[in-house]
Homo-oligomer: A and B are copies of this chain.
Amino acid sequence: MVEFTVTILGCGSAKPTLRHHTSSQIVSRLGKLYMIDCGEGTQTQLMRYGFHPGQLENIFISHAHGDHCFGLVGLLSSLSLDKRTTDINIHVPADFVEILKAQIDFFVTHAEFSIRIHPIDCQEPTLIFSDLHFDVTAFPLEHRVPCYGFLFREKQGSRHIIPECIEKYGIPRPEIDRIRGGGDFTTADGRVIPNEVLTTPPDPVRSYAYVSDTRPVMQYAELLQGVDLLYHDATYCEGDEELAYKYDHSTASQAAEFAKACNAGKLLLGHFSSRYETEDCFLECATRYFPNVLLADEGVTVRIVDKKNG
């Protein structure tokens, strides 16, 4: 199964602290990097954990609050200083476009690459991006400003050809891709060998969901049904539901209830408020509702495995 990971660059909330950077993470598949959110200092965090920003071609910003985007113009600026020539795509809520463009025009004046801004503006879950690795669906969350969650779903891979069959049936190399794609094979003497004899099924399609700042959004339990890894806003701990509601966030327990409803493989909690000294309470509360909980922390990499194998 190919490498598919999420690395936390920052998992604090509104203000950076000495314990937690503000939000940013890297989704990586087969060495291809995707960034989600870009709080202040993200470019330094990238360096700290050994990521090469040159490999980054897509950045997804959940919403235009500083703790999710204040590092973006600095990162772009540094890419320009690095003499980058590859274009970069930035997927941002539509309300962020104007001020982002203004900043880029003012500060990133010598870029030898294009910065393509893709506004996100949807009321329903919407496919906003697709490449060889992923389909990315944005879904609107419930926060003070337009805010989106992102579902990264792997593209269905090819079937696996059974190595022994190649020799046994004399399959020539040019045929292999067609068979991986589901085709049968006709031998030199005219026998048709059905695909299911020649191949095993493709790897299961894995998925990762990033649920950014939001009140609980139980309406997406179906959209995220069976998600292998679910990152969820857990700004507050159990007992602080009123604060969570007031500021349009969730508690660790609410995140866990949602993970349960989604039948998720694993729950990764983050966006911790600086009001708590440690996050032990978050883990304790969440595991009462859902068994498989991890706390985000800077530098932590979570390997996304098919939830049945997790």
Distance of A27 Cα from B241 Cα, bound (Å): 42
Q: Kindly report which residue of chain B lies nearest to residue A21, judged by CB atoms.
A: B44
Q: Is the CB of B81 within 8 A of A14?
A: yes
Known: A70-B73, A70-B74. A44 touches B41 (CB 8 A): yes
Contacts A40-B71, A41-B41, A66-B73 given; does A47 touch B106 at CB 8 Å: no
Give the distance in Å from the alpha carbon of A66 to the alpha carbon of B16 in the complex: 19
Cβ-based interface call for A48 (8 A): yes
Contacts of A17 in B (CB 8 A): 44, 47
Complex copy number for this chain:
2
| Chain B hits for A14, CB < 8 A | 78, 81
The A31-72 residues at the B interface (CB cut-off 8 A) are: 40-41, 43-44, 47-48, 64-66, 70-71
A74 neighbours in B (Cβ, 8 Å): 16, 40, 66, 70
Which residues of chain B have C-beta atoms less than 8 A from A41's C-beta? 16, 40-41, 44
CA separation between A64 and B77, bound complex, in Å?
13
A99 within 8 A of B: yes
- Does B107 lie within 8 Å of A103, measured CB to CB? no
Indicate which residue in B16, B66, B78, B106 contacts A107 across the interface (CB closer than 8 Å). Answer: B66
The reply to whether B47 and A81 contact each other, CB–CB distance below 8 Å, is no
For A43, give its contact among B40, B43, B73 (CB under 8 Å).
Answer: B40
Could you tell me which residues of chain A, from 212 to 226, have a CB within 8 Å of some CB in chain B? Answer: none
Which parts of A62-103 form the interface with B (CB within 8 Å)? 64-66, 70-71, 73-74, 77-78, 81-82, 99, 102-103
Is A303 among interface residues, defined by CB-CB distance under 8 A? no
Closest partner residue, chain B, to A14 (CB atom): B81
Across the two chains, which residue of chain B brings its CB closest to A78? Answer: B15
Residue ID in chain B nearest A16 by CB atoms? B44
Sample of 7 further A-B pairs with CB below 8 A, known A16-B44, A40-B40, A66-B107: A14-B78, A40-B71, A66-B77, A70-B70, A99-B102, A99-B103, A103-B103
Q: Could you write out 28 A-B pairs with CB less than 8 Å apart?
A: A14-B81, A15-B43, A15-B78, A15-B82, A16-B41, A16-B43, A16-B44, A16-B74, A17-B47, A18-B44, A18-B47, A18-B48, A21-B44, A40-B40, A40-B44, A40-B70, A40-B74, A41-B44, A64-B106, A65-B107, A66-B74, A66-B77, A66-B107, A70-B70, A70-B74, A70-B77, A70-B107, A99-B107
Q: Which 9 A-B pairs have the closest CB atoms?
A: A41-B41, A99-B106, A40-B74, A70-B74, A66-B77, A15-B78, A16-B44, A66-B107, A14-B81
